[in-house]
Amino acid sequence: MNAEPRILRTQAEETLALEFAAARTQLPGSPAIAAAREAAFAAFQKLGLPHRRTEPWRYTDLRALLRTVPPLAIGTSGDDVVVADLLPGLDRARLVVVDGAFRPELSDLSGLDGVTIRPLVDLLRDGDTRVGQQIAPLNDAVVSLNSALMVGGVAIDVPADARIARAIEIAHVTSSAVASHVRNLVTIGADASVRILETHLGPAGSAYQANIVTEATAGDRAKVIWAKLQSEGDAAVHLGTLAVSIATETQFDHLTLMTGAAISRAQTFVTYTGENARAGLFGATMIRGKQHADIALGVDHAVPNGASRELFKAVMDGRAEGVFQGRIVVRPDAQKTDGRMMTQGLLLSEDASFFVKPELEIFADDVQCAHGATSGEIDEDILFYLLSRGIPRAEAETLLVTAFLAEAIEGLGDEAIGDAFEEIARNWLATRGQEAA
Amino acid sequence: MLEIKNLHASIDGKEILRGVDLVVPTGEVHAIMGPNGSGKSTLSYVLAGRDGYDVTDGEIIFDGQNIVETPAEERAAAGVFLAFQYPLEIPGVATMTFLKAALNAQRKARGEDELTTPDFMRRVKAASEKLNVTQEMLRRPLNVGFSGGEKKRNEILQMALLEPKLAILDETDSGLDIDALRIVSEGVNALRSPDRSMLVITHYQRLLDHIVPDKVHVMSAGRIVRTGGPELALELEAKGYADYAGEPA
């Protein structure tokens, strides 16, 4: 016996099969893309929705969590959508994607001279071979599902040597209770410097599902700051994937802030294709009530002399479940790799939980790698120190939780984005105890 | 200012304070000396209102009110200050941010206006210069990477800014070399005032060479067993605590 036989399908899997069958002729793309969709859906059907025995998804059992699937979003919808500004005061260009459709009329492209921005559907119609390239090695059902059903997104091309001072936001908005499958492609040329901001939001109370896959490449010596803000509506499912490859001497700093959605998973896959590249990967999770948020990381040191730093912090209140799964692979040729991964959970309630699975797979012998994980409550000694100075308990806790998260947020190394994200953290804490548990 | 009557307190069911009686009049500095394990640090925590201690009997009358049931932050706002034996390190919270949060929280609790930033900065500057606390230290996360002397100076800086009515100094001399001890003691002496009482808890007499108390109390097995003038400290230094071993606390 080898693979487990997949005979029983869940209701969600059945619905997806019916939807794909109905939509396959309407989905955009060249014949090559159409063929790729068929192959991707077959791959999805073979894997099924991830479940507890799907090792990389161990703590996010989608087969159990995803009972139903809302209708597929195809074409332009959400005409009357209002895009909230989650980061007031942060100057940035803005590419608005509603239910997977790029909406130039809602976007602000100023300050992006030299940068090419196209709707992804154009690339699908052209059969652009870059689409699907970065995710090809991933054997992930959710990514395969996205490859089968993707309707659009944006393609951003930052040419070599470009220095783009203004941050570029890709604002992903879901307008109603639909399932949207978004694909973005970001190509950053050699020696370019750019700051990308991914935001995700949608209406409260709406059980929409957003599956967003972004493929990115960063050229030699490029400097990339990439921040993601997952602030989906409270009944939403968010499945986000970033697959990026970094080249010789590329500096890639990435931060994920997870605070929205009922069920969310953010996966980041970084592959080193050139030597002396450095990646800083950071995460801050703030969840409460019955929220479930999973950050998954795959770092692939395929070449020598790469460095990576990972710091993930999670704060859980109420009955929330936080998950961190991080995997660093050091391939046989990747000598002198320097990888350090740290995960810290802070539980604000007795009913909250945090699941951590750090993994190091090292096949080279001359490397420095380490990982660590801690989980605990607010330190009573430190809390008493603050109380003894007259700082009220709620304020003292806010101060300590903000400081806890700040270390990861500031790791990104971008003051403007860091300040805006810390403001979100403070606002989250300010509303503590007001939500229904 | 402070009147402790028959105070009994236990932690995890174990009685540490077994009937403490102590009066510290306004404007006086009293020292509590005693062997290790006599309950000195427990007394300081119970006075400051730390969770986890059960006051099973007795009263703590501060400024005319029994504060046994009062939460720590309210005691602080009312004017109780504890200088910690081991000040805690708080990564991610700048010393300056912490000082401002504390000062403004206390002002707010007393119905006073929050200080403006320039006003706050002026006060910090004046107090920190006297204690050799540098601007660089104020920018650093609270006590993180501070030496023992820097931590204690930082405690006294907080005391100077918060202007308590009652300051409890728990083993403030521990871990200090002679120079640091002198700076800290000068800082404390500068804060002596007819309106402020101090309770100096120490194992050794040497601190009391610098901060000369009005009275010295000896604590043993959870009680005050002897009270005298400053000369009592010298006697203890010469003879040790052997006479006060009592039952182990």
| DSSP for B51-107, written as a single string | TTEEEEEEEEEETTEE-TTS-HHHHHHHTEEEE-SSPPPEEEEEHHHHHHHHHHHHH
CATH classification number, B2-238, choose in 3.90.850.10, 3.40.640.10, 3.40.50.300, 3.40.1410.10: 3.40.50.300
- Residue in chain A closest to B162 (alpha carbons) equals A389
Q: Does B229 touch chain A (CB under 8 A)?
A: no
Instruction: Give CA torsion, residues A290, A201, A266, A54, to 10 deg.
Output: 60
Q: Which of B46, B50, B93, B110 to mutate to test the interface with A (most CBs of A within 10 A)?
A: B93
Give the structural domain span for A314. 11-377
Residue B211, classified by CB atoms within 10 Å of its CB into exposed (0-12), middle (13-18) or buried (19+), is buried
Residue in B51, B72, B101 nearest the CB of A395: B101
Domain membership flag for residue A324? yes
Domain membership flag for residue A71? yes
Domain membership flag for residue A433? no
Instruction: Give residue B249's pLDDT.
Output: 39
The ipTM, to two decimals, is 0.95
Q: Would you state the structure tokens that stand for residue B185, as one six-digit string?
A: 């003691």
Q: Would you state the structure tokens that stand for residue B94, as one six-digit string?
A: 């700048």
Task: Report the amino acid identity of residue B32.
Answer: I
Question: Could you tell me how many residues make up chain A?
Answer: 437
Name the H helices within chain B: 40-48, 72-78, 95-109, 117-130, 135-139, 148-162, 178-190, 206-210, 231-239
Is B91 in Cβ contact with A391 (below 8 Å)? Answer: no
User: Going along A189-291, which residue ranges are E strands?
Assistant: 193-201, 209-218, 223-230, 237-246, 251-258, 263-272, 278-287
Q: Does B144 touch chain A (CB under 8 A)?
A: no
Map residue A397 onto helix, strand or coil: helix
Domain membership flag for residue A388? no
Q: Which of A342, A381, A388 to mutate to test the interface with B (most CBs of B within 10 A)?
A: A388
Calculate how close chain B gets to A15, using CA atoms only, in Å.
48
The domain ranges of chain B are 2-238
Name the H helices within A48-83: 62-65
Is A387 in Cβ contact with B71 (below 8 Å)? Answer: yes
Cα B137 from Cα A376, distance rounded (Å): 28
Is A387 in Cβ contact with B72 (below 8 Å)? Answer: yes
- Residue in chain B closest to A382 (alpha carbons) equals B88
Could you identify the residue written with the tokens 């209701």?
A11
Block means of pLDDT (10 residues each) for chain B, length 249 residues?
Answer: 96 95 96 92 96 95 96 96 95 93 94 93 93 91 92 95 96 88 92 96 90 95 94 88 64
Q: Would you state the structure tokens that stand for residue A301, as one six-digit string?
A: 């040191």
Instruction: Give residue A7's pLDDT.
Output: 59
Instruction: Give residue A437's pLDDT.
Output: 40
How many domains does one find in chain A? 1
Could you identify the residue written with the tokens 């009293």?
B30
Domain membership flag for residue A178? yes
Is B49 in Cβ contact with A387 (below 8 Å)? Answer: yes
Q: Would you state the structure tokens that stand for residue A234, as one six-digit string?
A: 């409270």
Cα B78 from Cα B86, distance rounded (Å): 23
Calculate how close chain A gets to B69, using CA atoms only, in Å.
15
Instruction: Give residue B180's pLDDT.
Output: 87
Is A390 in Cβ contact with B105 (below 8 Å)? Answer: yes
Show residues of chain A in contact with B98, CB under 8 Å. 386, 389, 399
Is B102 in Cβ contact with A391 (below 8 Å)? Answer: yes
Instruction: Give residue A5's pLDDT.
Output: 54
Is A406 in Cβ contact with B52 (below 8 Å)? Answer: no
Query: How does pLDDT run along chain A (437 residues), one tens digit per residue?
Result: 455 555 568 999 999 999 999 999 999 999 999 999 999 999 999 999 999 999 999 999 999 999 899 999 887 666 778 888 989 989 999 999 999 999 999 999 999 999 999 999 999 999 999 999 999 999 999 999 999 999 999 999 999 999 999 999 999 999 999 999 999 999 999 999 999 999 999 999 999 999 999 999 999 999 999 999 999 999 999 999 999 999 999 999 999 999 999 999 999 999 999 999 999 999 999 999 999 999 999 999 999 999 999 999 999 999 999 999 999 999 999 999 999 999 999 999 999 999 999 999 999 999 998 899 999 999 999 999 999 999 999 999 999 999 999 999 999 999 999 999 999 999 999 888 665 44
Calculate how close chain A gets to B78, using CA atoms only, in Å.
9
H/E stretch holding A275: none
